[in-house]
A and B are shown apart, each in its own frame.
Chain A
Amino acid sequence: MAARRKRALARVALGLALLLLLGGCWDRTEINDLAIIHAVSVDRVPDGRVRVGLEVVVPRAAPSPGGEGGGGGQPFFVVSAEAESVGMAVRRIQEKVPRRLFWGHMRALVVGEAVAREGLAGHLSFFVRQRNARFPTVIYVVPGQAQALLQVSTTLEPTSGRTLADLAQYDSVPRLRLRDFLVSLSAEGLDPVTLAARVEPAATGGGGEEDGRSVLAIAGLAIFQDDTLVGWLNEDEAVGLMFLGAPHRFDVAVLLLQATLPAQDGAQVSVVMNRVHVEVRPRRVQGRLTIGVRAYLEGEVVAATRPIPLDREQVLTQIERAVARAVEDRARGTLDRLRAMGVDPAGFGQAVHRQMPAVWRQVRERWRETLPDLPVEIRVTANILRTGKVQEEMLLEEGFREQEPR
């Protein structure tokens, strides 16, 4: 009996001893041994090397969620180093930072134009392989130097990493992550795009004293051919890319379209989109491969520059036609730009690959040469479902009309 009890005791002791290992063995890390990275920049320096900048969070200065602000001061600092490769530069930076660099919270990767023009794939390898790095990281290309973006002292969000990650949410460009870049790169007949960003003064003019604050701003899209930057689209052209059927997740709710109505003395209406659906259907027209783009959108009138009787059906039809024309113009404009660059970020090739695999096999090799004169038919159907909170333009009401000098 006693021997049995002893054995049971020994087992319990052994079990408890195992608990010691729960700390993580050799990999035990305390949060205050980590330098948490929010954003990373990669720039080209003249002698053929790269400069990597890391935005590291300063925990004591960062405001705690819900509580009072921290000890003050900037909640982040930027460290950088130059080396032959991204990995080596990060190694150099680690030598300057007394805590272990931690990649699990990396929100944004910012790449300078010069690096992007030489090809990104080699530089991305480091981030893709990082054990803790997560592909939801958003990726930006910056005209000029990328590190400048990290050094901007942000106002609303504590770090530029957070700012860059959230910025795209309220803009009409898609939120493009590192993952989207990799997916596009591996897909056939689809060239990658990334967001573009720049530093701008927060407020200009207005006669007041300028406080010199800068903000980060979206500057449209960077257009790639494979992994090499070849050009830019501004935000209006980026919207055109959506109407050409690009497979990225555009947020349509913030998209405002302006359309002119000739039948209403050239009045202009602003329409916000509720839903956009684009289908890309490649087909053969008289033996020629043709891309058919069919866009369907639903919107809501939010403003008009002149009193317009919005409750009349024929007026709504006029607006719908005008919006459809505006959309088509934009899509055409973007298409012309893309043709000039010889790239296919809308994924026409991918559509052919998926819907007509046999045809794709024939055109795959010389797809880029085909692009400039590939016929594209665009048809847009707009549907105005609502007119905002106001049924009929308020300015049309009796009281107002009587006062009008006629």
Chain B
Amino acid sequence: MESGRITPLQLFLLGLPLINSTGILYLPGLLLRVAGRDAWLAMVLGTAAALVLVLVLAPLLRHWPRLSFVQVARQSLGRPVGGALGVFLGLWLLHLGVVVLRQFGDFVATYVLPLTPQVVTQFLLLLPATWVLRAGLEVLARAGTMIVSVNIIFIIVIQALTVKEADFSNLTPVLENGMLPVLRGALISSAWFGEMVCLAFLWPRLTEPRRGPVAIVGSTLLTGTVMASSVMLALGVFGVAAAHLVFPVVNVSRQVAIGGFLERIEPLLVIWMVGSIFVKLALILLVAILALGQGLGLREPRRLAYPVGALTLVLATTGFAGIPDLGNWLRRVSPLLAPWWQLGVPALAAAGGLILGRRRRRGRPA
């Protein structure tokens, strides 16, 4: 059985690339199309999804600090139901891993290596990610700490350099078309922020589980800030024309020209993306196999690492027809499906767990 422990700080750091990787590439473009000038508001509202998740799950910590919510569901709702929830969550996470790998492949193909077959670039990202899966949570946390701390510096450098190019009066008038487009955008971004469910799953593996909620809320707020400011910068630099760009933030980084010598900083962004997506992919697949393992009651869930890796690669190369297809999924389909596994599964587990917890407490007063 898995026994690795990580610190709350590590959990906090792992949460950053969870959304700030593929999210920074695709989400601004999607939100700008739906909510236009108010896309940054949609981003702010989207963070609520993660906060709701924490609110739902936090009470469980009191009763079962060392059990994940899938394990709680198995105890409280019974093996068949709880197990099914775990498998449901695991399969959706696997699908998310596929989407992430595909997003990575399409980004690399668009910006860096147009001639290289996607399966090659995807494989090169997936291979180390699978090794990390096999090695377990502690290794992922350490690799993540290293990569994410460097990435934070990159984020700050890129954003600071682009501020000069932005004209923030492009953000006015605010809420010209009312709240509806913002809410539609928030639905899309909440499907991204809901991925924080991966962190919530790892609570019981913390050295101090009770500090899990703080780590997640902190991670969410910082992520939300970076995402919202990225959208604001994109709007500041390109106005509403930003909505026509597939990767607005990449284009923003291309605008930087300081004093005629500091130009072409977009490689920084590509490095940041490759590192972050690596952490994100490994984290999602790790939680996927843990959820599958706990749902099915496997003793050695790590053994799923290679099969899951291979399946992810196959599905990622065959599952989508290209960026327009991927965009449709992200904009139209995923926002309606994501809440079921991101919020529905934890909510069911929490409901069952709380009822059982109360009953137990009454039976055996502490």
Contact = CB atoms under 8 A, between A and B. Distances in A.
Given A179-B238, A247-B167, A27 B173 contact: no
Given A18-B124, A25-B116, A26-B115, A179 B237 contact: yes
A354 interface: yes
A357 B243 CA distance: 20
Nearest to A177: B255
A353 B264 CA distance: 34
B201 to A, nearest CB: 30
B309 interface: no
A186 B237 CA distance: 12
B168 to A, nearest CB: 12
Interface residues of B, number: 29
A3 interface: no
A378 interface: no
A164 B167 CA distance: 24
Contacts, number: 60
A27 B240 contact: no
A186 B240 contact: yes
Interface stretch (A129-137, A235-243, A291-299, A306-314): A129-137
A27 B114 contact: yes
B173 A131 contact: no
A58 B277 CA distance: 40
B255 A357 contact: no
B358 interface: no
A24 interface: yes
A182 interface: yes
A385 interface: no
B169 interface: yes
Interface string A135-150: 1100000000000000
Main secondary structure of the interface of B (DSSP, over half): helix
Interface in B153-170: 167, 169-170
Contact of B173 (A25, A104, A357): A357
A357 B116 CA distance: 48
Nearest to A133: B254
Contacts of A185: 241
A13 interface: no
B295 interface: no
Given A26-B117, A354-B169, A357-B173, A135 B254 contact: yes
Contacts of A179: 237-238, 255
A157 to B, nearest CB: 13
- A: interface residue count bin: 20 to 34
A10 interface: no
A187 B239 contact: yes
Interface string B72-97: 00000000000000000000000000
B120 interface: yes
A354 B172 contact: yes
Contacts of A26: 113, 115-117, 120
A21 B124 contact: yes
A162 to B, nearest CB: 11
A14 B251 CA distance: 35
Contacts of B110: 131
A168 to B, nearest CB: 14
Contacts of B183: none
Contacts of B254: 134-136
A203 interface: no
Interface string A273-290: 000000000000000000
A227 B271 CA distance: 37
A353 B238 contact: no
B257 A25 contact: no
A25 B241 contact: no
B111 A186 contact: no
Contact of A183 (B115, B176, B238): B238
B257 A136 contact: yes
Interface in B116-175: 116-117, 120-121, 124, 167, 169-170, 172-173
Contacts of A186: 238-241, 243-244
Contacts of A357: 173, 176
A183 B241 contact: yes
A404 to B, nearest CB: 50
B22 to A, nearest CB: 20
B112 interface: yes
A406 B165 CA distance: 59
Given A21-B124, A135-B251, A247-B167, A27 B112 contact: yes
Contacts of B113: 24-27
A11 B39 CA distance: 46
Contacts of B255: 134-136, 179
A136 B116 CA distance: 28
Nearest to B177: A357
Interface of B: 110-117, 120-121, 124, 167, 169-170, 172-173, 176, 237-241, 243-244, 251, 254-255, 257, 264
Given A247-B169, A354-B173, 4 more contacts: A27-B114, A131-B114, A136-B257, A354-B169
30 contacts: A18-B124, A24-B113, A25-B120, A26-B113, A26-B115, A26-B116, A26-B120, A27-B114, A27-B116, A131-B114, A134-B254, A135-B254, A179-B237, A179-B238, A183-B170, A183-B238, A185-B241, A186-B238, A186-B239, A186-B240, A186-B241, A186-B243, A187-B239, A187-B240, A247-B167, A353-B173, A354-B169, A354-B172, A354-B173, A355-B172
| Among all A-B residue pairs, the 6 with the closest Cβ atoms | A186-B241, A25-B116, A26-B115, A26-B116, A183-B239, A27-B113
